[in-house]
Amino acid sequence: MAIETVIHDKNTRDFLKGKIKKVEEITKNGQSYVNLLSIIVFKDIQNHFKNEEGPDGKWAPWSKMYQEHMEKIGRGSNNILQFSGHLRKAFVPTNYKTSSEGITWYNSARTKDGAPYAADHQYGTNRMPARSFMWLSDKGQEDIAKQTLAFLEDEKT
Protein backbone atom coordinates (compact mmCIF):
# COMPACT_ATOMS: atom_id res chain seq x y z
CA MET A 1 0.00 0.00 0.00
CA ALA A 2 1.41 3.37 -1.04
CA ILE A 3 0.72 6.60 0.73
CA GLU A 4 0.78 9.77 -1.29
CA THR A 5 1.86 13.04 0.23
CA VAL A 6 1.17 16.28 -1.54
CA ILE A 7 3.26 19.31 -0.67
CA HIS A 8 1.31 22.46 -1.35
CA ASP A 9 3.93 24.98 -0.24
CA LYS A 10 5.83 26.20 -3.33
CA ASN A 11 9.01 27.03 -1.37
CA THR A 12 9.16 23.51 0.07
CA ARG A 13 8.53 21.95 -3.35
CA ASP A 14 11.27 24.08 -4.92
CA PHE A 15 13.66 23.22 -2.09
CA LEU A 16 13.07 19.48 -2.54
CA LYS A 17 13.38 19.71 -6.33
CA GLY A 18 16.74 21.41 -5.88
CA LYS A 19 17.96 18.66 -3.54
CA ILE A 20 16.74 15.95 -5.90
CA LYS A 21 18.64 17.66 -8.74
CA LYS A 22 21.82 17.68 -6.63
CA VAL A 23 21.44 13.99 -5.72
CA GLU A 24 20.93 13.17 -9.40
CA GLU A 25 24.08 15.07 -10.29
CA ILE A 26 26.03 13.06 -7.72
CA THR A 27 24.61 9.69 -8.78
CA LYS A 28 25.17 10.48 -12.47
CA ASN A 29 28.74 11.72 -11.82
CA GLY A 30 27.94 15.24 -12.98
CA GLN A 31 30.84 17.36 -14.17
CA SER A 32 30.72 20.00 -11.41
CA TYR A 33 30.57 17.34 -8.69
CA VAL A 34 33.40 15.26 -10.18
CA ASN A 35 35.54 18.39 -10.55
CA LEU A 36 35.19 19.09 -6.81
CA LEU A 37 36.24 15.54 -5.94
CA SER A 38 39.11 15.55 -8.45
CA ILE A 39 40.86 18.30 -6.51
CA ILE A 40 40.71 16.23 -3.30
CA VAL A 41 41.90 13.06 -5.04
CA PHE A 42 44.75 14.93 -6.74
CA LYS A 43 46.03 16.44 -3.48
CA ASP A 44 45.76 13.10 -1.68
CA ILE A 45 47.77 11.25 -4.32
CA GLN A 46 50.42 13.97 -4.44
CA ASN A 47 50.81 13.50 -0.67
CA HIS A 48 51.49 9.79 -1.21
CA PHE A 49 54.48 10.71 -3.37
CA LYS A 50 55.65 13.30 -0.83
CA ASN A 51 55.30 10.89 2.11
CA GLU A 52 56.40 7.82 0.10
CA GLU A 53 53.58 5.72 1.46
CA GLY A 54 50.90 3.29 0.39
CA PRO A 55 47.75 2.23 2.19
CA ASP A 56 49.76 -0.25 4.26
CA GLY A 57 52.57 2.11 5.25
CA LYS A 58 55.92 3.28 3.90
CA TRP A 59 57.01 2.11 0.46
CA ALA A 60 59.69 -0.54 0.22
CA PRO A 61 63.11 1.08 -0.02
CA TRP A 62 65.25 0.78 -3.14
CA SER A 63 67.19 -2.44 -3.52
CA LYS A 64 70.83 -2.19 -2.56
CA MET A 65 71.85 -2.48 -6.22
CA TYR A 66 69.46 0.29 -7.30
CA GLN A 67 70.56 2.53 -4.40
CA GLU A 68 74.16 2.13 -5.51
CA HIS A 69 73.18 2.93 -9.10
CA MET A 70 71.29 6.06 -8.01
CA GLU A 71 74.27 7.23 -5.93
CA LYS A 72 76.63 6.58 -8.84
CA ILE A 73 74.57 8.82 -11.16
CA GLY A 74 74.19 11.54 -8.52
CA ARG A 75 70.56 10.87 -7.63
CA GLY A 76 71.01 9.00 -4.38
CA SER A 77 68.96 11.57 -2.48
CA ASN A 78 65.94 11.31 -4.81
CA ASN A 79 62.62 10.26 -3.37
CA ILE A 80 61.34 6.81 -4.30
CA LEU A 81 59.33 6.80 -7.57
CA GLN A 82 60.62 10.27 -8.44
CA PHE A 83 63.59 9.78 -10.73
CA SER A 84 62.31 12.43 -13.13
CA GLY A 85 58.94 13.30 -11.61
CA HIS A 86 57.14 11.99 -14.72
CA LEU A 87 55.09 9.39 -12.79
CA ARG A 88 53.93 11.96 -10.22
CA LYS A 89 53.23 14.61 -12.86
CA ALA A 90 51.35 12.16 -15.11
CA PHE A 91 48.50 12.05 -12.62
CA VAL A 92 46.28 15.06 -13.21
CA PRO A 93 42.78 15.78 -11.87
CA THR A 94 41.22 15.41 -15.32
CA ASN A 95 42.42 11.79 -15.68
CA TYR A 96 39.17 10.07 -14.78
CA LYS A 97 36.41 7.98 -16.26
CA THR A 98 32.83 7.82 -15.03
CA SER A 99 30.44 4.90 -15.18
CA SER A 100 27.34 3.66 -13.40
CA GLU A 101 29.73 2.11 -10.86
CA GLY A 102 31.31 5.44 -9.95
CA ILE A 103 34.39 7.48 -10.81
CA THR A 104 37.79 6.01 -11.61
CA TRP A 105 40.89 8.21 -11.58
CA TYR A 106 43.97 6.88 -13.36
CA ASN A 107 47.62 7.62 -14.03
CA SER A 108 48.52 7.50 -17.72
CA ALA A 109 52.32 7.33 -17.27
CA ARG A 110 53.98 5.08 -19.84
CA THR A 111 57.53 4.20 -20.79
CA LYS A 112 59.11 5.23 -24.10
CA ASP A 113 58.01 1.85 -25.49
CA GLY A 114 54.41 2.37 -24.37
CA ALA A 115 54.42 0.03 -21.37
CA PRO A 116 52.20 1.37 -18.56
CA TYR A 117 54.81 1.79 -15.86
CA ALA A 118 52.34 3.47 -13.50
CA ALA A 119 50.63 0.08 -13.12
CA ASP A 120 53.99 -1.67 -12.61
CA HIS A 121 54.78 0.58 -9.66
CA GLN A 122 51.22 0.52 -8.31
CA TYR A 123 50.90 -3.29 -8.28
CA GLY A 124 54.52 -4.43 -8.48
CA THR A 125 56.10 -6.93 -10.85
CA ASN A 126 58.25 -10.02 -10.44
CA ARG A 127 61.26 -7.64 -10.44
CA MET A 128 60.02 -4.84 -8.18
CA PRO A 129 57.75 -4.47 -5.15
CA ALA A 130 54.39 -2.73 -5.30
CA ARG A 131 54.57 0.88 -4.23
CA SER A 132 50.93 1.91 -4.29
CA PHE A 133 50.33 5.59 -4.87
CA MET A 134 46.82 5.52 -6.41
CA TRP A 135 44.70 5.16 -3.28
CA LEU A 136 42.58 7.38 -1.11
CA SER A 137 43.60 8.02 2.50
CA ASP A 138 41.19 8.23 5.41
CA LYS A 139 41.60 12.01 5.29
CA GLY A 140 40.85 12.02 1.56
CA GLN A 141 37.72 9.96 2.13
CA GLU A 142 36.65 12.30 4.94
CA ASP A 143 37.26 15.34 2.72
CA ILE A 144 35.13 13.77 -0.03
CA ALA A 145 32.32 13.12 2.44
CA LYS A 146 32.47 16.74 3.64
CA GLN A 147 32.58 18.08 0.08
CA THR A 148 29.62 15.89 -0.90
CA LEU A 149 27.59 17.22 2.01
CA ALA A 150 28.56 20.80 1.15
CA PHE A 151 27.60 20.13 -2.48
CA LEU A 152 24.17 18.89 -1.38
CA GLU A 153 23.67 21.86 0.95
CA ASP A 154 24.67 24.41 -1.69
CA GLU A 155 21.57 26.36 -2.69
CA LYS A 156 22.92 27.23 -6.15
CA THR A 157 21.70 24.85 -8.86
pLDDT tens by residue, 52-84: 999 999 999 989 998 999 999 998 888 898 888
- DSSP class of 127: S
What's the angle, vertex CA 13, arms to CA 9 and CA 16, rounded to 5?
140
Hey, which residues does 97 pair with through a beta bridge?
104
Q: pLDDT for 8-55, tens place per residue?
A: 778 777 777 777 777 777 777 678 888 889 999 999 999 999 999 999
Q: What angle do CA 138, 141, 142 make, to 5 degrees?
A: 85
CA distance 98 to 90: 19
Average pLDDT along the chain: 85
- The string of pLDDT tens digits covering residues 89-123 is 888 888 888 887 888 888 887 766 666 778 888 99
